[in-house]
């Protein structure tokens, strides 16, 4: 009989957080080896990144080992060790921007290849069940609502080389460096490996170690999680009345203007961060703050003359979501993949569905007639309209536009949602639907979503803080949902031509 053992029940850790509208955002253009070789700016970006990692001591460069000797030693001691390799990648951030734009730049990364990790026996490595939980789009909008209160503002910064702030507290791990990056004094070694000390990007557990490290620091500085279930990586500081959003290595704080410097100090004295800036590009979207005065009950979209601003007036704190450059890149990608040279003007993202339905039902009736005559219609019932030419590229285009729609162009959601249901049964009418959608996107690149809070709305002078901590999960969820419902009532988002 095979040996058996009783497995103790383990609590399941949901890897997919339970909250509304989760969406991760990573937007950058990969740069290939050939392009890197002929682009000095890309080579410089890689050199800068490598030098930073060496200076930070991400791996122990002073005590390398021959892998054959190290692995034999581990097997003899019945000890588990891991080995992987470090490789370099380069991306261009802001590639949708015009050449010369300050937001368009090369970014180098030296990363751990997490899908090719072996142990001392050359078997696949087994890792801890760690996961990271970046903030969602919903949480970002909540912080925007909070930061638009009277006397409040929104600022942002990013952690420099965030992951390597944390120690790699896991199985002993060694890495092979790229041949051109091995120090000259170790070139005589046949297969040198270096001990990995810090949580390098790409390691399957690095995200979890960084998040745990950042969370420990924030808790020590009196930041409290708003809700571990609904709003992950969102914190509230009761004394400073500030909300903090942490998205991977991006920090975004909303709170009273007079408390912002103190709020940033709680982070900068523990984690090295870049310059603190006013609300700007976050999650791939430009968040632009402004103010406006209108007559009581006036139109927030209209520009009033000074002579019209008499009597009771309302001051609006406004945030505008600008994804024009990103959507322009979506249009360019569609034209490239579809070989479409020109796009016509479109007032809506929808075609005349009556024509599509007429052809579809006519084909269905024809099949029914064939069946009535006793003819076989096997294999003809599933789809009766010609397959679309754009089927191979449809998902690539739709998912790219979908991100902008979720974040700042809600007028596109209906059309995209319908097309998403057609991916596996794409026909020529779906070609027309997708083309019409991209014509509409191209025609409305200047469309913005603008949201505002007025000084006459509740919480303008005394903002209700999130109820962050509670003795029961039921109480916590109730308070969090109440705040979000409140923000939906008084935080007005409307797409309109800028």
Check pLDDT > 80 for residue 2.
Answer: no
pLDDT for the residue numbered 341: 86
Lowest mean pLDDT among 113-117, 330-334, 395-399, 462-466: 462-466
Sequence-ordered list of residues with C-beta below 8 angstroms from that of 340, at least 6 positions apart, any chain: 334, 435, 438
**Closest-CA residue to 61 (of 161, 258, 168, 195):** 195
CB 283 within 8 A of CB 322: no
Query: Each residue of 227-250: pLDDT tens digit?
Result: 766 567 889 999 999 999 888 888
Q: Can you give the chain as a three-state secondary structure string?
A: CCCCCCCCCCCCCCCCCCCCCCCCCCCCEEECHHHHHCCHHHHHHHHHHHHHHHHHCCECCCCCEEHHHHHHHHHHCCCCCEEEEEEEEEEEECCCCCCCCCCCEEEEEEEECCCCCEECCCCECCCCCCCCCCCCHHHHHHHHHHHCCCCEEEEEEEECCHHHHCECCCCCEEEECCHHHCCHHHCCCCCEEEEECECCCCCCCHHHHHHHHHHHHHHHCCEEEEECCCEEEEEEECCCCEEEEEECCEEEEEEEHHHHHHHHHHHHCCCCECCCEECCEECCEEEEEEEEEEECCCCCCCCCCHHHCCCCEEEEEEEEEECHHHHHHHHHHHHHHHCCCCCCCCCCCCCCHHHHHHHHHHHHHHHHHHHHCCCCCCCCCCCCCCECCCHHHHHHHHHHHHHHHHHCCHHHHHHHHHHHCCHHHCEHHHHHHHHHHHHHHHHCCCEEEEEEEECCCCCCCCCCCCCCCCCCHHHHHHHHHHHHHHHHHHCEEEEEEC
98-112, 445-459, 470-484: range with highest mean pLDDT: 98-112
Sequence-separated (6 or more) residues with CB below 8 Å from residue 439: 343, 344, 345, 346
> Does the pLDDT value for residue 260 go beyond 70?
yes
pLDDT band at residue 8 using 50, 70 and 90 as cut-offs: very low
Residue 381 C-beta-side C-alpha neighbours within 13 Å: 7
Q: For residues 61 and 54, is the Cβ–Cβ distance under 8 A? A: yes
Q: Is the distance from CB of 340 to CB of 334 less than 8 angstroms?
A: yes
Mean local confidence (pLDDT), 187-205:
89
Give the mean pLDDT of the chain. Answer: 80
pLDDT over 50 (residue 20): no
Q: What is the pLDDT of residue 155?
A: 93
Q: Report CA 358 to chain centroid distance, whole Å.
A: 41
pLDDT band at 377 (very low <50, low <70, confident <90, very high): low
Q: At 395, is the pLDDT very low, low, confident or very high (cuts 50, 70, 90)? A: very high
316 touches 434 (CB < 8 A): no
Is residue 468 within 8 A of residue 227, CB to CB? The reply is yes
The pairing of beta strand 281-282 with beta strand 285-295: antiparallel
Q: Is the pLDDT of residue 252 over 50?
A: yes
- With a cut of 60, say whether residue 466 has pLDDT above it: no
Whether pLDDT at 473 is above 90: no
**pLDDT tens digits, residue range 331-357?**
999 999 998 888 999 899 988 877 766
User: Does 273 score more than 50 pLDDT?
Assistant: yes
Comparison of pLDDT for 495 and 463, the residue scoring more:
495
pLDDT of residue 14: 55
Residue, of 10 and 290, whose pLDDT is higher:
290
| Measured distance CA(94)–CA(88) in Å, rounded | 20
User: Would you state the pLDDT for residue 470?
Assistant: 30
- The reported pLDDT for the residue numbered 4 is 46
Is 183:146 a contact under the CB 8 Å cutoff? Answer: no
**pLDDT band per the 50, 70, 90 thresholds, residue 133:** low
What is the rounded average pLDDT of the residues 369-393? 68
Q: What is the mean pLDDT of residues 216-224?
A: 91
Using alpha carbons, list the distances in angstroms from residue 325 to 126, 183, 286.
42, 42, 10
Report residue 134's pLDDT band, with 50, 70 and 90 as the boundaries: low
pLDDT confidence tier of residue 261, bands split at 50, 70 and 90: very high
Whether 369 has a pLDDT exceeding 80, the answer reads no
Q: CB-based contacts of 99: which residues, under 8 Å, 6+ apart?
A: none
Q: Over 70: is that where the pLDDT of 457 sits? A: no
Categorize the per-residue pLDDT at 28 as very low, low, confident or very high, splitting at 50, 70 and 90: confident
pLDDT category, 152, cuts 50, 70, 90?
Answer: very high
196 near 173, Cβ under 8 Å? yes
In this predicted structure, the answer to whether residue 498 has a pLDDT above a threshold of 70 is no
pLDDT tier at 438, thresholds 50, 70, 90: very high
Looking at per-residue confidence, does 363 or 69 come out higher?
A: 69
pLDDT at 365: 61
pLDDT band at 478 (very low <50, low <70, confident <90, very high): very low
The reported pTM is 0.70
pLDDT at 268 over 80: yes
Range 263-282 average pLDDT? 90
Tell me the C-alpha distance between 489 and 482, whole Å.
Answer: 11
pLDDT at 334: 92
Is the pLDDT at 264 greater than 80? The verdict is yes
């Amino acid at each position: 009989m095979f040996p058996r053992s009783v497995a103790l029940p383990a609590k399941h850790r949901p890897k997919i957080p339970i909250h509304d509208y989760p969406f991760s955002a990573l937007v950058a253009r990969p740069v290939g080896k050939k392009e890197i070789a002929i682009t000095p700016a890309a080579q410089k970006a890689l050199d800068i990144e490598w030098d930073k990692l060496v200076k930070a001591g991400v791996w122990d460069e002073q005590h390398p080992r021959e892998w054959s000797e190290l692995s034999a030693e581990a097997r003899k001691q019945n000890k588990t060790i891991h080995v992987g390799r470090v490789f370099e990648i380069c991306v261009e951030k802001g590639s949708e921007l015009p050449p010369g734009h300050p937001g368009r730049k090369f970014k180098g990364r030296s990363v751990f290849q997490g899908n090719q990790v072996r142990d001392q026996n050359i078997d696949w490595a087994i890792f801890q069940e760690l996961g990271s939980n970046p903030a969602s789009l919903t949480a970002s909008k909540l912080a925007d609502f909070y930061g638009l209160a009277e006397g409040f503002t929104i600022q942002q910064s990013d952690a420099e080389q965030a992951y390597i702030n944390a120690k790699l507290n896991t199985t002993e791990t060694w890495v092979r460096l790229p041949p051109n990056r091995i120090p000259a004094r170790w070139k005589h070694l046949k297969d040198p490996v270096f001990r990995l000390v810090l949580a390098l990007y790409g390691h399957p557990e690095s995200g979890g170690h960084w998040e745990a490290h950042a969370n420990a620091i924030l808790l020590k500085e009196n930041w409290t999680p708003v809700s571990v279930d609904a709003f992950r990586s969102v914190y509230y500081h009761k004394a400073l009345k500030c909300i903090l959003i942490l998205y991977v290595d991006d920090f975004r704080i909303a709170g009273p203007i007079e408390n912002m410097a103190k709020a940033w100090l709680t982070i900068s004295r523990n984690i090295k961060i870049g310059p603190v800036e006013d609300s700007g590009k976050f999650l791939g979207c430009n968040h632009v703050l402004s103010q406006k005065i209108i007559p009581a009950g006036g139109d927030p979209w209209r520009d009033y003359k000074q002579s019209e601003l008499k009597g009771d007036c309302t001051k609006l704190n406004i945030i505008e979501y600008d994804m024009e450059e990103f959507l322009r890149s979506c249009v360019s990608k569609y034209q490239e993949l579809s070989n479409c040279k020109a796009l016509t003007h479109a007032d809506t993202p929808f075609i005349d569905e009556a024509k599509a339905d007429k052809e579809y039902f006519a084909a269905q009736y024809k099949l029914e007639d064939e069946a009535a005559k006793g003819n076989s219609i096997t294999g003809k019932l599933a789809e009766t309209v010609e397959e679309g030419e754009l089927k191979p590229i449809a998902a690539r285009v739709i998912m790219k536009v979908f991100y902008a729609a979720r974040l700042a162009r809600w007028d596109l959601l209906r059309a995209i949602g319908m097309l998403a249901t057609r991916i596996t049964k794409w026909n020529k009418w779906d070609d027309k639907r997708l083309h019409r959608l991209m014509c509409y996107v191209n025609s409305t690149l200047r469309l913005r979503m603008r949201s505002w809070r007025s000084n006459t709305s509740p919480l303008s002078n005394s903002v209700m803080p999130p109820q962050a901590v509670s003795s029961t999960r039921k109480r916590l969820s109730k308070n969090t949902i109440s705040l979000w419902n409140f923000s939906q009532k008084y935080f007005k988002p409307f797409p309109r031509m800028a």
